[in-house]
Every structure is written in structure tokens, then in C-alpha cells.
Structure 1
Amino acid sequence: MKRRDFLMAGGSLAALAALSARLPAFAQGTAAAIEKPSLTLGVGGKPLLYYLPLTIAERQGFFEEEGLTVAINDFGGGAKSLQALVGGSVDVVTGAYEHTLRMQHRGQDIRAVADLGRFPGITIAVRSALKDEIKTIADLKGRAMGVTAPGSSTALMLQYALVKAGLKPDDVSLVGIGGGTSAVAAVKRGEIAGLSHLDPVTSRLEVDGDIVPLIDTRTEEGTRELFGGTNPAATVYLRHDFVEANPVTTQRIVNAFLKSLAWLQTATPDQVADSVPEDYLFGDREFYKTAFEKARPMYSPDGVITEDGFQSMLSMLKTLEPDEFGSADLTFAQTFDPRFVAAAKG
């Protein structure tokens, strides 16, 4: 080889090496070491079907298959798990996509790396005893409504529905009722006029005849009716500095969740009921199976958040909170990092 050719080849190799160094570790080979194999994950209401992909990843051993040990902290609502991430007590969160937009607007670089739910799966309903008094969202003015926790996605959607109905977000009192049996009990005791909540809580109350739905976003039709388009729901999100420092770990997290989503696409209701803890069934296995089938369409088939979904979410925030988000200049890329889903899909 001539000296000139040798130098050119060497320069090309050096350029390739420099490019490789800038790539995430997961793109440099499957043998890369996991930087942080033991993780703490935050969630707000784990028994909810909204977060079923997390429970499946845990119970089917998908985290372990990816070399991860995941300790799960279940908080009273999504806003609390977000606070834990910001405060550093958890490494990763399964929570509402809306939180990434909110935190980016506040200057905190938190991004989703996988979508779990393409529809919110939230139902706004009133107690059956009040169905003749409360027939529309506008009729909720002055009432107390249950949500998983103030500041959570269930609260946000209720407030958005209020604004679209010509009311103000604070025209209804929000009462945090948690995400499990406590929520069911709050309705049955008559402590609230109704609730904005998720399955299996809402299905349990429907089956028992305790509530009448006003808005239902468990389906694409119901979601488009309220939002005018798709509206990403549960996601996996992290601080971006964690992602950059731990790309292999992040990839393994995403791999586990995509395995869970794929499993849910073909699982039978019996397989799902066999996989979740016994107390998730509300003492009624057949009911849980029915609730899962009703919720199945909301799970993402591929983990991808679309720009259409981002625009829908941003529009909702601008409508609901014009003082804060009216002039927000956010980009899709700030809220979703698609590299890990793309790599997991090969």
C-alpha cells in the first residue's frame, strides 16, 4: 500500500472510530455491559390496567431476561412518581406522557423512551344515583370528583373535559382516592359525585351498577371524540442525563417493555389473569378478564409515540393551561427519544 493510501485509510478508520464513540453503547454491540443492573422504578397505581405492561414485564420475567433487577415503588398517583424521579429516589418511571411536556417546559430534561398506551383508557363517570342530575360534563360544576391523585393524568383529563364544556379547571373539587380498592370504596360510600379513573376500577363499578360513564377514552373513537386525535397515555420516561450515562441499561429497560407489549397483543384473558397478583382481580377473576379485554385496544403495539400524538397532547395543555403553555415552544424530539425502540425492533 502506498503511503498516501495508507494515510487515507487510517484517516477513514479514525473517523469511523470517532463516530462509533458518539453512538449510544447499545448500537456498538450486544456484549456491552449494563451500567446499572439494579434499578428503582416509580409508578402511580400499579394494579391499574393502565400500567399492566409493567406488571407483565415483572411477572413474566422480562426484566430478568434483560439482566435487570427492578425494585418497584408504587405511589398514590402519577404526579408523585414524577416527583420521585425529579428528586432522585427512583431511576425510571412508568407514567403519563404529559409529564414529559410539562417538565421540558419547566427546563427539566425528562423524555419518554417507549409508549405503553396509545389511548388514555380513562373514564369520567358519575354515581348512578346522580345520573338524572348530572347528564353532561357541564353538570359537574361545584361537585367533588375522585381522581387517582391531584396532578395526575386522571385529574388532567377531567380538567380538560371541563374546559371543553365551557367550565374552568377549578369548577370541580378534585379528591385523591388512589388506584385500587380505596377508589371503589369512595364511590360506593357516596363520598364523591363520580370519578375520573381507570380500569379495573371503572369496570368494577360499572359491573356493579354504581356509575354511569360520561366520557370513555378506552377506545380510539372515544379518544378522538375528546381530543380530536390520538393521545399517548402511559409511557416509560427517564431523566435524559440518566439515559446518556446509561444507554445499555436504558436499552434493556425498553427491550423488557416491548416484550411485554408483544405478549399482551396475543395473550388470552386467562393468561393475563394468571399473571397478575391475586389481589388485582378484585375477588372476581371473570370480571378482571372482561376488564382486560375492554382495555386491550389501548396498549401500544410497537412502543412508538407519534408526532400527531405529541401535537394532541400539547394542544390539550395549551387549552387547559393557557397562562403556562399558551406560548410554549416545545418540540417532539424534546419529549420522546425513539432510538431505543428502533434498536429493540432491529
Structure 2
Amino acid sequence: MKRRTFLTAALALGVAGCAPAATGGSPSPSASGPAPSASNARATIGLSYIPNVQFAPFYVGQSQSLFDGVDAAVSVRHHGSNEGLFNALTAGSEDFLVAAGSEAMQARAQGVDVIAVGSYYKTFPVEVIVLGSSPIQQLSDLKGRKLGVPGRYGESWLAVQVALATAGLSEDDVKIVEVGYTQVAALSGKKVDAVTGFRTNELVQLQAAGAEPRSLPVAPGTVPLVSTSLLTTAAYAKAHPEVVRQVIAAVTKAIEATAADQKAAIDISAKQIPGWTEAARPNAEAVLAATVDVMALQDGKFLPALDPAQWDAMSAFLEKSKLIEKPVAAADAFTNEYSG
């Protein structure tokens, strides 16, 4: 399974030597060692890309000992540069994974034992982005124009399918251009008329470059796709239900702490990001602010429960659009049993 564009740290932070991960390969070391535990349980949390400020809550959680209440040895592990998204989870070297709910549902259709147990991004972050001067004012204006995408995979590609359905268009109505992870350059250089990109990444980069971008949601209201979530396996949840509850509670506190003091969160994250320099701080501040925005806290509180209606809508959309190998009922792909 190819990877999505969730984190492209080199561009988002301007940190040299960083790049998005791909498939295959060997694991990377944990970002830090496991926390002490009174039990023999282990809770290794997989962060699916290299260190990035978008993972700040996990660094904050460790720094502020928010995982100490988990009755398991908690550690955070970044994936290797050539590692498949679900490889470590299915191999048993990870117990949790931070990845898109849409990818989890697609993986489940392929027989992977994965379920979503908590939210991370509450608002779908992928949008169609155009330059401020573009005549494209609504999604239907994409007809006959060049739309840049990283590739025909991952969250960005699923977002394209939703956008086209919203606009009443088909793939034949637009000119799909695969630009890899160069959406910002492709749009800025006017090689394409629009791109799909993340509010937490490409949109921030374009704003920082003074391009005055505009973004168009891929659907009105709630998008029928679930973005970044906290995943585990049904087997692990059955074996360690209290640990799952405790991890969700700890991540929730860490998100709230990150949102409450974003400067401190960046200071903590900087220690985890290879090649960090203070020159990266302004961009990091913008990225983290956008990340907190899509987490949609309410009066400083984060609600980890997943939206059943959104999961039902995603199940129906993926099946109708033939974007999934076989139907997967929403109830089989997520649960709120542990987030209450």
C-alpha cells in the first residue's frame, strides 16, 4: 500500500534531510524509550512518518509524563523511510498507529486486523488549493483544468474522488497530473491550475511563500472520509482494553496541553526533529496552529470519540466509488468503546 501525504516534513518545516516515507524496508528506532509499567503490557505507538511538529502531542505527552498513568510500557516509534504503513502493526512490533481512518478501512478490506479507537484530526484536512488569482471559485470550475495530485493513492487521491463527486464531475472531466510531493512548486509555477493538499502542510507553505492561496473543501459539511486517527488491532484491544482506554485518555490530555501552550510544544518537538534550527520556528508555528485547528478542540477540550455517521458515510462512499476491495461495515472498522 502506498503512502499518503500526511507529513512532508522537509517542506513543512524547512528541515534539511527530511522526506516522506515509502513502502517496505526496516524499522527506525523509537523516539524514546518505554515508560515504566506495573504490568507486562506494552504500548508502542507508531507515528507513520519522520519526526514532525504535527506529532507534537506525543512528544508533549512524553515530556510531561502524561503517559505515566498507562498500565503498560509506552514508547513512541517513527517509521523507517522505506516502511509500509501497517507492516509494524501487523507484525506485532507496534500496538497503536497514527494514520488515516480511510486507510484503515481500505486495509481492513484487505484482511488487516486494524480498528480505529480514537480521533486525532477531527476535521478532514485535505482540500483543493488554488492561487488567489485563479478563476476557479468552486469545485465545478475544475472541469477542463489541470489538477495536481501526489499520485493515485492515499488520502489526497480519496479527496479527489470526493471533490469530483461533489462537483458532479468524473476523472475524464479534469486533467489529472501526478506531481509527486511537489504540489507547492507545481501550483506556484502554474504547471497545474489546482492541487490537492493538506491545510497543515501545503496550504501553510503557500501562505508562507506569499502566494495568497485559496482552498476549497472537497465536500459541503462533513466530508465522507475520516482522516488521522488512533488505530490498533482488534486482538490488542480485546487483550488490553484498559490500556487502550488509558492511551486514548493520555493522548487526549497531550492534545489539550499542546493546544494550550503551542510555544512549549514547539520547544519540546524541536528536540525530536533532526536538523532543527530556529529558522524553522515560524513555519513550525504555522503548521502547529493549523494542526490544532483541525483537531477542533471545544473550549480547550478535545473529544476523542469518533463520528459514527462519518464512518457510515465513508463506508458507503468507498464501496460506491469502488475504492475498496470489498465492503467493510463501519461498525467493523471503528469503535468508541474505549474513548468514553
Superposition TM-score, scaled by structure 2 size: 0.68
Structure 1 pair 262/42, CA: closer, same or farther in 2 (3 Å)? closer
- The match for 2:46 among 41, 65, 83 is 41
Q: CA deviation at 1:305?
A: 0.6
Counterpart position of 1:330: 329
Does structure 2 conserve the Cα–Cα contact (< 8 Å) formed by 1:160 and 1:320?
A: no
Q: CA deviation at 1:255?
A: 3.5
Counterpart position of 2:253: 259
**Structure 2 counterpart of 1:272, one-letter code:** A
Structure 1 pair 44/150, CA: closer, same or farther in 2 (3 Å)? farther
**Structure showing the higher helix proportion among its residues:** 1
Name structure 1 gaps, 5 residues minimum. 1-30, 218-224
Structure 2 Cα separation of the partners of residues 183 and 47 of structure 1? 19
Counterpart position of 1:202: 203
**Structure 1 counterpart of 2:267, one-letter code:** D
Q: Kindly report which structure 2 residues correspond to 1:73-84, keeping only aligned pairs within 5 A, or say none.
A: 73=79, 80-82=84-86, 84=88
Deviations 1:3-30 (A, max 9, x none): xxxxxxxxxxxxxxxxxxxxxxxxxxxx
Counterpart position of 1:154: 156
Structure 2 Cα separation of the partners of residues 289 and 135 of structure 1? 29
Deviations 1:101-122 (A, max 9, x none): 2233344331011111111122
Structure 2 Cα separation of the partners of residues 145 and 235 of structure 1? 26
Does structure 2 conserve the Cα–Cα contact (< 8 Å) formed by 1:42 and 1:74?
A: no
Deviations 1:23-68 (A, max 9, x none): xxxxxxxx9614225x36141465364x443444355443466441
Structure 1 pair 168/128, CA: closer, same or farther in 2 (3 Å)? same
Secondary structure of the corresponding residue to residue 231 of structure 2: strand
Structure 1 pair 33/84, CA: closer, same or farther in 2 (3 Å)? closer
- The match for 1:112 among 109, 116, 133 is 116
**Structure 2 counterpart of 1:213, one-letter code:** R
1:145 and 2:148 are equivalent in the alignment = yes
Higher mean alpha-carbon deviation, 65-74 vs 52-61, is at 52-61
Alignment coverage as a number of residue pairs? 290
Structure 2 Cα separation of the partners of residues 236 and 227 of structure 1? 23
Q: Kindly report which structure 2 residues correspond to 1:58-69, keeping only aligned pairs within 5 A, or say none.
A: 58-63=62-67, 66=70, 67-69=73-75
Q: Kindly report which structure 2 residues correspond to 1:5-16, keeping only aligned pairs within 5 A, or say none.
A: none
Structure 2 Cα separation of the partners of residues 76 and 212 of structure 1? 32
Counterpart position of 1:285: 281
Deviations 1:236-271 (A, max 9, x none): 112222333444553443233122123234x13323
Structure 2 Cα separation of the partners of residues 288 and 32 of structure 1? 36
Name structure 2 gaps, 5 residues minimum. 1-36, 297-301
Structure 1 pair 43/286, CA: closer, same or farther in 2 (3 Å)? same
Q: Kindly report which structure 2 residues correspond to 1:232-271, keeping only aligned pairs within 5 A, or say none.
A: 232-247=226-241, 249-265=243-259, 267-271=260-264
**Structure 2 counterpart of 1:236, one-letter code:** L
Superposition TM-score, scaled by structure 1 size: 0.67
Q: CA deviation at 1:306?
A: 2.3
Counterpart position of 2:76: 70
**Structure 1 counterpart of 2:262, one-letter code:** P
1:340 and 2:333 are equivalent in the alignment = no
Counterpart position of 2:21: none
**Structure 2 counterpart of 1:299, one-letter code:** M
Secondary structure of the corresponding residue to residue 196 of structure 1: strand
Q: CA deviation at 1:76?
A: 8.1
Q: CA deviation at 1:211?
A: 5.8
- The match for 2:107 among 100, 103, 108 is 103
Q: CA deviation at 1:75?
A: 5.5
Structure 2 Cα separation of the partners of residues 211 and 146 of structure 1? 20
Structure 1 Cα separation of the partners of residues 62 and 190 of structure 2? 35
Secondary structure of the corresponding residue to residue 341 of structure 1: coil
Structure 1 Cα separation of the partners of residues 324 and 338 of structure 2? 34
Structure 1 pair 244/141, CA: closer, same or farther in 2 (3 Å)? farther
Counterpart position of 1:304: 305
Does structure 1 conserve the Cα–Cα contact (< 8 Å) formed by 2:132 and 2:211?
A: yes
Structure 1 pair 155/87, CA: closer, same or farther in 2 (3 Å)? farther
Structure 2 Cα separation of the partners of residues 114 and 62 of structure 1? 17
Deviations 1:200-243 (A, max 9, x none): 431121232336324147xxxxxxx5354685421111222233
- The match for 2:169 among 167, 170, 182 is 167
Q: CA deviation at 1:310?
A: 1.5
**Structure 2 counterpart of 1:197, one-letter code:** G
Deviations 1:172-221 (A, max 9, x none): 234431xxxx664565566655432221431121232336324147xxxx
Does structure 2 conserve the Cα–Cα contact (< 8 Å) formed by 1:127 and 1:211?
A: yes
Q: In terms of Rg, which structure is larger? A: 1
**Structure 2 counterpart of 1:195, one-letter code:** V
Identical-residue share of aligned pairs (%): 15
**Structure 2 counterpart of 1:209, one-letter code:** G
Counterpart position of 1:275: 268
